[in-house]
Amino acid sequence: MNHFFTSIYFIFLSSFAISQSSDSLVLRKIYDHYLTNSKCYSNLEVLTSKIGARLSGSPQAEEAVQWAKKAMYAAGADTVILQPCMVPHWVRGQKEKCLITSTKLKSSNTLKCTALGSSVGTGIKGVKGEIIEVHSFADLDDLGEKIIKGKIIFYNVFFDQTKITTGHAYGETVKYRARGASYAAKYGAIGCVVRSMTSLADDEPHTGNMVYDTAISKRKIPAVALSYKAADLLHENLLKDLTLQMYLETHCQTLPDAPSYNVVGQINGTEKPNEFVIAGGHLDSWDLGQGAHDDGAGVVQCIEILAALKQLGIKPRHGIRAVAFMNEENGLAGGIAYAKFAAEKNEKHLAALEADAGGYAPRGFFVDTTKGLYNQVIKWKSLFHPYYIDRFQIDGGGADISGLEKMGVPCIGFEPDTQRYFDIHHTAADTFDKINKRELELSGAAIASLIYLLDRYY
């Protein structure tokens, strides 16, 4: 190496070191902001405890839209955009009933259950029939219409506890919630019950969306989830009496689509105002709890990015947006609308991040390889090491940004610790008291830090 190149090399090295060191100071300030001065926790308290559950189409969802707009301006947004979208409007109606009775055992038990989102209701008459317990779609193929017709299918499929990431266990079982009813209807079943998608052996039923997949069956039968303990009880009773009768009564229905909005809070870019780095969560939630972890947490973490930038005097090169997407839970209308608006307005999106895995302690990021994003992000690993962000894995973003992903926008999914998420996911127990303030703030700071680095260098 000659002297000229040596000098260039060291100049390069030292400017790299200086920029890393000044970036590490900025990250420290972002963390200090989130840990001592942020509104993440108090914002989430309002969203969850004052507004509460906010399923698409509900008055609470609209209240949440107005709240988000105000919260974004309060955080320091230069502008807040409401992006209209039409959302499905499913309502649960009266509390569900699920009874099992056995003449053989002379027993009668009430099972804790919840109708699955998008399901048709049974109405006041309910449905009644014998139950067939299955453990896979293949079981239904084996049994066939002769046996299944007129019965209620019970998908008794457990989470695989050996999966280290709980999302992997969820990924394996959620198909029974999503398409179990259509698959059962295909063989003439009159109802569908599924074991809740959880690893926690408690009595909270987990709702979540289902779809009537017309490619499988044109018949729509009612679908409910049983709590983990209720599914255990049903299984135990079926071992003793295969002719057990189940009575199901649900009053849910789908009303006409309703108008709603994504809420987009923006800090204007100083160099490239029509290029954007965005981070979002979804504003809607299921109707049972308060949508605290799913996904109030993601929303307040992302809104706080605006406050952190403003209060720290960071003027971003590109437009920075915090997006509160509407209708992630049962339709993705908001995510689709966001991508459509971006295309129409010819907005360039450098990168999009989604935070929708609960407000737990941070672990890392799932990063797209599109346009070299992963190779860029992994260079910042050492900046995140002091903050216990250790995992940079190649993977996609999230549901709300999947529209952008299809348009070629590099996407990131934020990864908090997953162990407790499916304990409360889509249940009445997803409430503000399950939030740990520091976990919420640390994850928010991790997201804001990555957005800062992307704006500056990507």
Which residue ranges make up the site for a copy of itself (CB under 8 A)?
31-32, 35-36, 161-162, 164-166, 199-200, 361, 363, 386-388, 390-391, 417, 419-420, 423, 436-439, 442
Label residue 101 left, alpha or beta by phi (over 0 means left) and psi (-120 to 50 means alpha). beta
Cβ 127 vs Cβ 181: under 8 Å: no
Q: Would you call 80 helix, strand, or coil by DSSP?
A: strand
Label residue 216 left, alpha or beta by phi (over 0 means left) and psi (-120 to 50 means alpha). alpha
Supply the minimum distance, in Å, between the C-beta of residue 441 and a copy of itself: 8
CA triplet 427, 404, 411: central angle to 5 degrees? 75
Supply the minimum distance, in Å, between the C-beta of residue 348 and a copy of itself: 34
Supply the minimum distance, in Å, between the C-beta of residue 358 and a copy of itself: 13
Our CB check for a copy of itself shows the closer of 30 and 409 to be 30
Label residue 42 left, alpha or beta by phi (over 0 means left) and psi (-120 to 50 means alpha). alpha
- CA nearest 321: which of 268, 263, 389, 266? 266
The set of residues, in sequence order, having a beta carbon less than 8 Å from that of 8 and lying 6+ positions away, is none
Instruction: Please report, as a single letter, which amino acid is at residue 318.
Output: H
Distance CA 23, CA 449 (A): 9
Distance CA 64, CA 83 (A): 14
Our CB check for a copy of itself shows the closer of 32 and 63 to be 32
Our CB check for a copy of itself shows the closer of 144 and 386 to be 386
Supply the minimum distance, in Å, between the C-beta of residue 452 and a copy of itself: 17
Residue 385: Cβ-neighbour burial (10 angstroms; 0-12, 13-18, 19+): exposed
- CA nearest 132: which of 82, 215, 192, 177? 192
Our CB check for a copy of itself shows the closer of 162 and 346 to be 162
Our CB check for a copy of itself shows the closer of 341 and 387 to be 387
Supply the minimum distance, in Å, between the C-beta of residue 176 and a copy of itself: 21
Supply the minimum distance, in Å, between the C-beta of residue 255 and a copy of itself: 38
Our CB check for a copy of itself shows the closer of 138 and 164 to be 164
Our CB check for a copy of itself shows the closer of 195 and 349 to be 195
Sign of CA dihedral 330, 334, 335, 336: positive
Supply the minimum distance, in Å, between the C-beta of residue 404 and a copy of itself: 28
Instruction: Please report, as a single letter, which amino acid is at residue 72.
Output: M
Our CB check for a copy of itself shows the closer of 128 and 229 to be 229
Structure tokens at 72: 């974004």
Distance CA 359, CA 416 (A): 7
Supply the minimum distance, in Å, between the C-beta of residue 158 and a copy of itself: 10
